[in-house]
A and B are shown apart, each in its own frame.
Chain A
Amino acid sequence: MSTTAPETPQAMTGDEGTIAIEMRNIRKAWPGVVANDNVSFTVQKGEIHALVGENGAGKSTLMNVLYGLLRPDAGEIYVNGKLAHISGPRDAIALGIGMVHQHFMLIPPLTVGENITLGREPVYNVDVFDTAKANANIRELSAQYGLAIDPSTRTSDLPVGLQQRVEILKVLYRGADILILDEPTGVLTPQETDDLFVVLRGLVKRGKTIIFITHKLREVLEISDNVTVLRRGKVVGHLVTKETNQEEIARMMVGRDVLLRVEKPPAKPGEPLLRVEHLNVTSEQGIPAVRDLSLEVRSGEILGIAGVEGNGQSELVEALAGTRQVVSGHIQIGDAAITNIGARKIRSAGMAHIPEDRRESGLVLNYSIADNLIFGHQRDDTFTWKGIMLRLQTIREWAERLIKQFDIRTPSPDIAARALSGGNQQKVVVARELSSKPKVLLAAQPTRGVDIGAIEFIHRQLVAERDSGAAILLVSAELDEVRSLSDRIAVMYEGRIVSFEPADATEERLGLLMTGGGQKQEHASA
């Protein structure tokens, strides 16, 4: 019973009794990006509704609109059949909507009880916080929903799974009937995920409605009743979970309408240039992010890493680039070990790095284009006299050459990088990194947020770099990009490479692997 997005929503009357949330024709755009494009979304009372899509598909934006954190440019929201004006979280809470954010909204030094009751604290003697009553309320609530927790623990002392439980209790304490969970399993172990699912089923049994944002399809099939799939800001389908399968959802999620053909001759792989053995890296929160990962990239080949974002790709790239500490394992370029030797030495060993977020890590936005084009090479003899004085004339000529060579659209190299469009900013990063003639190139999301023209240009540059003998590790959340550029594909899931696939692997197979399917379920072991 798969249907496409209903263009005209049914009249609100008649469904009053069964529909919890109806969002009609929501549009939200930022300069250059349409995050939600005429999105309509309906949730029945008492169901678990999965909202799925790749990163950047517009899921979080849609839910932030519903929770009042963002104002839509157009569209209407009906809650329990009534038109709602939600201008902030307070309004959403009043309407019985609660949200468990991907990044928890908990205050670490406060106790569980204080966190849960914050904003609606029980008091006596005018304003004295009634710890006993708060704790009693919470115990009652915990018992009611089967969410055991000790209200007097310091929140920072809890493991992540229990912190999430606190977040859910916080929402329930505020009387929410409709719970939005934004990527709730992203930070959980498989065991904790199972516990969460038990909790969610219990909540539904008690009449709650749940919107579950995820990109892990195994979970969608396991927990949800209905599925809405978003791609590039648009609804691409509503599905009934029982009547669909992982392949169908995966196909809808990754899509096949945009086909970016890259003209490239067959690869002629040479000797291995990048070798990674048994690498372990932890995330900011101290959770293992890369687990016992080994790979090898040869001269003249592009190894693409496919995976849904948040499965350890960022941490892998940072560890290779030297901006994140390696816990254990070994990395080498050619014959030189580069494990934990620092970003500067890794660069001089022949590594170049296109970071995934050009604005945060790739550019100094207030620097001129010329200055950005030597970033990281400011002490090279080419650009500096005896490591002290910058050779301004050389830098300028260099910049003018790269601007021409990489087709960076700017009236002058003296313009601040901030003033360029996303595509041209990215070309600045690519130009700089390729111009150092690297042995190994790390290309993380090399075309994120740039226009089609720039995408094609950057792709051609990467292939040319491969053909001149570099080893390229490509990480992209765009499956199309990985498939069209790579000579081999490694699929990453939960910090491991679950499979090496040939370049012509089907989307369905990759999509399945990326979302934790198509493999033996090793779920209980972790």
Chain B
Amino acid sequence: MQLIGQILHLLITPALWQTTLESGVLLLLPALGGVISERSGVVNIAMEGMMLTGAFAAVAVAEVTGNPWISTLVAIAAGGLMAVIHAVVSIRFRADQIISGVAINIFAFGITAFLNSKITNFQGFNPVKPSAQLPYLHIPILDKIPFFGPIFFDQNIIVYVGLFLLVAVQFMLFRTRLGLRIRAVGEHPQAADTAGINVYSIRYGSVIASGLLSGLAGAFLAIGITNVFNDGMTDGRGYIALAAMIFGKWTPIGSFVACLIFGLGTSIVANNSTLNVSRDLLSMLPYILTLVVLAGLVGKSIPPAADGQPYTPGSE
């Protein structure tokens, strides 16, 4: 009975839901990237590395310029650059996309840690100065609404950007010509090719988009949430985003729901001082849930038909 009381108490704490939304959007950005990339037929398990690269770039640039916007732009570009490698290796060279993704993740870890020690002479970057951090938006009046105010109107700016991107990507994929072509290329590249669509440019663009979004997530993490750079600081968030994407059946909205569930997990772990359950056991839950989904126990999650298959023109 006491435990139930504790849980209820936790559930009506605004801070719990505030953190849930924040962590959810942090995962959402790379998950959206994954959705776009895989919808075009390129398997992407490299969001982790792209995000880490973004985090590093954000902190490094923030240290020099002190400007969060420039830092964020560079972080986005850095994530995109990693994605270019993945795209060239898996589209141009038709490499195994999973091996390429693994290599990106190792490479990103290595190069960021390498540059980190090089630039700071093994001292590590200083914590990001408040003026160089991505700001929180306190929307006046609305943020005073009890309970809902802090959750929806007192968040980091990237949370709002992320929610906007969620709507934008959902709209792009399912309502625009570009989205139609991305889905066509991911389902049946031969059919798209015979319809006069350039399979390669669509795939390059989609993979690079996933890098840009992951880079943005890296900036959000490093100069919006933790405000410090540590080697390997993404700590598996890119992989959770991957899980969220599968959980969400390769749709933006579905992925967001999954990200919120995973975010709630993170948030409970962060706020569980009142709860007498191991945070490590709680942290396991998202992964177990994903396994359950994968096992088909909660509806089947089916990837795009040509996901992971390199395209060779003229072949069927």
Interface residues of A (CB under 8 A from B): 69-70, 88-90, 93, 99, 101, 103, 105-110, 114, 118-121, 123, 127-129, 170
Are A127's CB and B314's CB within 8 A?
Answer: no
- Cα-based distance from A120 to B194 in the complex (angstroms): 12
B179 closest partner in A (C-beta): A129
Q: Give the Cβ gap from A428 to chain B, nearest Cβ, in Å.
A: 26
Interfacial residues of chain B within 94-140, with CB under 8 A of chain A in the complex: none
Are A89's CB and B177's CB within 8 A?
Answer: no
Contact of B180 among A103, A105, A106, A121 (CB under 8 A): A121
- Any A CB within 8 A of the CB of B190: yes
Are B178's CB and A107's CB within 8 A?
Answer: no
Are A123's CB and B194's CB within 8 A?
Answer: no
> Please, which residues of chain B bring their CB within 8 A of the CB of A128?
175-177
Are B195's CB and A105's CB within 8 A?
Answer: yes
> Please, which residues of chain A bring their CB within 8 A of the CB of B176?
123, 127-129
Contact of A108 among B179, B187, B194, B313 (CB under 8 A): B187
> Please, which residues of chain B bring their CB within 8 A of the CB of A90?
196
- Any A CB within 8 A of the CB of B279: no
Q: Give the Cβ gap from B36 to chain A, nearest Cβ, in Å.
A: 15
Interface residues of B (CB under 8 A from A): 175-181, 183-184, 187-188, 190-197, 305, 313-314, 316
> Please, which residues of chain A bring their CB within 8 A of the CB of B305?
108
A64 closest partner in B (C-beta): B314
Q: Give the Cβ gap from B185 to chain A, nearest Cβ, in Å.
A: 9
- Cα-based distance from A390 to B193 in the complex (angstroms): 48
Q: Give the Cβ gap from A88 to chain B, nearest Cβ, in Å.
A: 8
Q: Give the Cβ gap from A152 to chain B, nearest Cβ, in Å.
A: 14
Contact of B191 among A106, A121, A129 (CB under 8 A): A106
Contact of B187 among A99, A109, A119 (CB under 8 A): A109
> Please, which residues of chain A bring their CB within 8 A of the CB of B184?
107, 110, 114, 118
B304 closest partner in A (C-beta): A109
In the complex, the 8 A-B pairs of residues with the closest C-beta atoms, listed nearest first: A119-B195, A105-B191, A119-B196, A118-B195, A121-B177, A127-B176, A89-B194, A107-B187
What are 13 A-B residue pairs whose CB atoms fall within 8 Å in the complex?
A: A89-B193, A89-B194, A105-B194, A107-B184, A107-B187, A107-B191, A119-B181, A119-B192, A119-B195, A121-B180, A128-B177, A129-B179, A170-B195
> Please, which residues of chain A bring their CB within 8 A of the CB of B188?
105-108
B188 closest partner in A (C-beta): A107
Q: Give the Cβ gap from B203 to chain A, nearest Cβ, in Å.
A: 16
- Cα-based distance from A166 to B180 in the complex (angstroms): 17
- Cα-based distance from A314 to B274 in the complex (angstroms): 67
- Cα-based distance from A89 to B176 in the complex (angstroms): 24
- Of A69, A99, A108, most buried by chain B (CB within 10 Å of CB) is A69
Q: Give the Cβ gap from B228 to chain A, nearest Cβ, in Å.
A: 40
A111 closest partner in B (C-beta): B180
B197 closest partner in A (C-beta): A119
Are B183's CB and A123's CB within 8 A?
Answer: no
> Please, which residues of chain A bring their CB within 8 A of the CB of B194?
89, 99, 101, 105
B190 closest partner in A (C-beta): A105
Contact of A123 among B177, B191, B197 (CB under 8 A): B177
- Given that A93-B196, A106-B191, A129-B175 are known contacts, is A118 also in contact with B181, CB under 8 Å in the complex? yes
Q: Give the Cβ gap from A147 to chain B, nearest Cβ, in Å.
A: 18
B172 closest partner in A (C-beta): A127
Are A129's CB and B180's CB within 8 A?
Answer: yes
- Cα-based distance from A108 to B196 in the complex (angstroms): 18
Q: Give the Cβ gap from A102 to chain B, nearest Cβ, in Å.
A: 10
Extra contacts, 17 of them, besides A105-B195, A127-B178 (Cβ < 8 A), are: A69-B314, A88-B313, A89-B193, A105-B190, A107-B183, A107-B187, A107-B188, A107-B191, A108-B187, A109-B187, A114-B184, A118-B192, A118-B195, A118-B197, A119-B181, A123-B177, A129-B175
- Cα-based distance from A89 to B192 in the complex (angstroms): 11
Q: Give the Cβ gap from B173 to chain A, nearest Cβ, in Å.
A: 11
A118 closest partner in B (C-beta): B195
> Please, which residues of chain B bring their CB within 8 A of the CB of A121?
177, 180
> Please, which residues of chain B bring their CB within 8 A of the CB of A99?
194
> Please, which residues of chain A bring their CB within 8 A of the CB of B192?
107, 118-119
A67 closest partner in B (C-beta): B194
- Given that A109-B187, A110-B184, A114-B180 are known contacts, is A70 also in contact with B196, CB under 8 Å in the complex? no
> Please, which residues of chain A bring their CB within 8 A of the CB of B178?
127
Q: Give the Cβ gap from A65 to chain B, nearest Cβ, in Å.
A: 12
